[in-house]
Amino acid sequence: MANSPDAVTTQQVSALPHVVIVGGGFAGLATAKVLANQAVRVTIVDQHNFHTFLPLLYQVATAGLEPADVAYPIRTIFGHAPNVGFRHGQVRAVDHQRSLVVLDDASEITFDHLVVATGATAAYFGIPGASQFALPLYSLADARRLRNRLLLSLEAADALPEGSSPQLNYVVVGGGPTGVETSGALAELIRIAIRRDGLRIDESKVRVILVDLASRLLTAFPPSASAYAARELTGKGVEVHCGRSVVEVQEHAIRFSDGEQIDTAAVIWAAGVTASGTLAYDLAVTPGAGGRARVTNDLRVVESANVWAVGDAAAVPLNAAEYCPQLAPVAIQSGHHCGQQILRVLRGEATQPFHYRNKGIMATIGRNEAVAKLPGGIIIRGRAGWLAWLSLHLFYLIGFRNRLRVMINWTWRYFDWPSGPRLIVADAETVD
């Protein structure tokens, strides 16, 4: 095996075994990083030419960060690995017989090994109107759309004649980390827009409501952390409605199980995830839970020798009874493991089972407030939790420049300087 970058030149690459990775998220990139500068040819296929750092999307949606702060060109990430290429496009189908994938433009790419890392998207649980009218937060496009909707709703309220300030209700559905983070940041955005940007909106007529079916927020954390999050959010002006479910979403309204219906300026959907698209689902004869691909413990799709599934697209076994949670660390670890197993197979060695190493979970509530659960159940909260969260996110952010940009943006916000990027970019896009 070649272990140094110089060992593989572009000339030699085309004769090497071809690994096609579908999806440039955490899992796909982790797989590719293992295979970079090894004796394989790698092609990452993605409909976007950039990786999106999903944990910070809510910051783009609430105008704290710019799209470029959380997106990074895939070609640039592997600029120094001559054996890793990129193909801009979407995979439509897998032909197991002929060992090839078919793209949306009908072109075909043959593979020796295929890694399906197509990720997750919002789950609507069949709630009427949810997929049509609620705004999810699973792509850069989602984040931009949500930001534009939020800012335009505030501008529209401002434009009304003096004294006719309308009721503005923003409902966030889902009390997990995404819902908690988004509702907290949204309350901050609205406060800044009114108090500092001078929008003529009656603050008492603006509500941010966080709804969850469960009896408490952040159910993956212990109850004390949930109570802390609820208290902090309430302090920011968020109304926390636990034990309440949504039965219908309309264009400008939401209806709850208790019969109450309220008008809405926006409904943000953070209620759960399902595998993205049908590619993973279609892979195996027996599909896995939540539209995910069923995989054996080495991460190969069941009944396949050279097709693998990783990250949110795979139902990764945690133990005999459970699957791994759909989290970024699982995506990264499973992608890494998959890359190593492909190298083992190519060397004629037996594969090893995947074991998830729990690194803890985190949720941020606002500046200075976060909660982290470390392995062993240790809870960190407040400023220490926030710093832990910040360090972890900056560590994961790919590329020094992105880290620097995000650090600058956050420093600014932290010190409350009046220059957040509250641009309504949809404006610009509707011109054409």
Which CB atom, from 78 or from 221, has the smaller least distance to its own copies? 78
Of 289, 305, 386, nearest in space to 341 by CA: 305
Distance CA 325, CA 258 (A): 31
Which residues share a beta bridge with 113?
19
* Joined tokens for residue 220: 């993956």
Work out whether the CA dihedral 78, 82, 83, 85 comes out positive or negative.
Answer: positive
* Joined tokens for residue 350: 């037996």
Does residue number 15 form part of the binding site for its own copies (CB under 8 A)?
A: no
Stretch that binds its own copies, among 30-38, 81-89, 253-261, 310-318 (CB under 8 A): 81-89
Does residue number 88 form part of the binding site for its own copies (CB under 8 A)?
A: yes
Work out whether the CA dihedral 408, 412, 414, 415 comes out positive or negative.
Answer: positive
The residues assigned a catalytic role are 181
Distance CA 143, CA 151 (A): 12
By CB under 8 A, how many residues form the interface with its own copies?
63
DSSP structure class, residue 350: P
Site string for its own copies, 182-201 (x = CB under 8 A): --------------xxxxx-
Does residue number 79 form part of the binding site for its own copies (CB under 8 A)?
A: yes
Which CB atom, from 80 or from 98, has the smaller least distance to its own copies? 80
Which of 114, 140, 186, 301: binder of its own copies (CB under 8 A)?
140
* Joined tokens for residue 357: 């190493």
Does residue number 427 form part of the binding site for its own copies (CB under 8 A)?
A: yes
How large is the C-alpha radius of gyration of the chain?
A: 23
Which CB atom, from 149 or from 244, has the smaller least distance to its own copies? 149
Site string for its own copies, 143-182 (x = CB under 8 A): -xx-----xx--xx-xx--x--------------------
Which CB atom, from 205 or from 401, has the smaller least distance to its own copies? 401
Collect all residues with Cβ–Cβ distance below 8 Å to 71 and sequence separation of at least 6: 50, 51, 52, 53, 140
H-helix or E-strand spanning residue 87: strand 84-88
CA angle centred on 211, ends 210 and 212, rounded to 5°:
130
Which CB atom, from 129 or from 175, has the smaller least distance to its own copies? 129
Does residue number 418 form part of the binding site for its own copies (CB under 8 A)?
A: yes
How far does Cα 427 stand from its chain's mean position?
25
Phi, psi of 158 (to 5 degrees): -65, -35
Does residue number 412 form part of the binding site for its own copies (CB under 8 A)?
A: yes
Does residue number 399 form part of the binding site for its own copies (CB under 8 A)?
A: yes
* Joined tokens for residue 307: 């097709």
Distance CA 227, CA 232 (A): 9
Does residue number 202 form part of the binding site for its own copies (CB under 8 A)?
A: no
Which CB atom, from 48 or from 191, has the smaller least distance to its own copies? 48
Site string for its own copies, 38-67 (x = CB under 8 A): ---------xxxx---------------xx
Stretch that binds its own copies, among 180-188, 314-322, 371-379, 393-401 (CB under 8 A): 393-401
Residues that bind its own copies (CB under 8 A): 14, 47-50, 66-68, 71-73, 75-76, 78-80, 82, 85-89, 105, 107, 139-141, 144-145, 151-152, 155-156, 158-159, 162, 196-200, 399-402, 404-405, 408, 412, 417-425, 427-429, 431-432
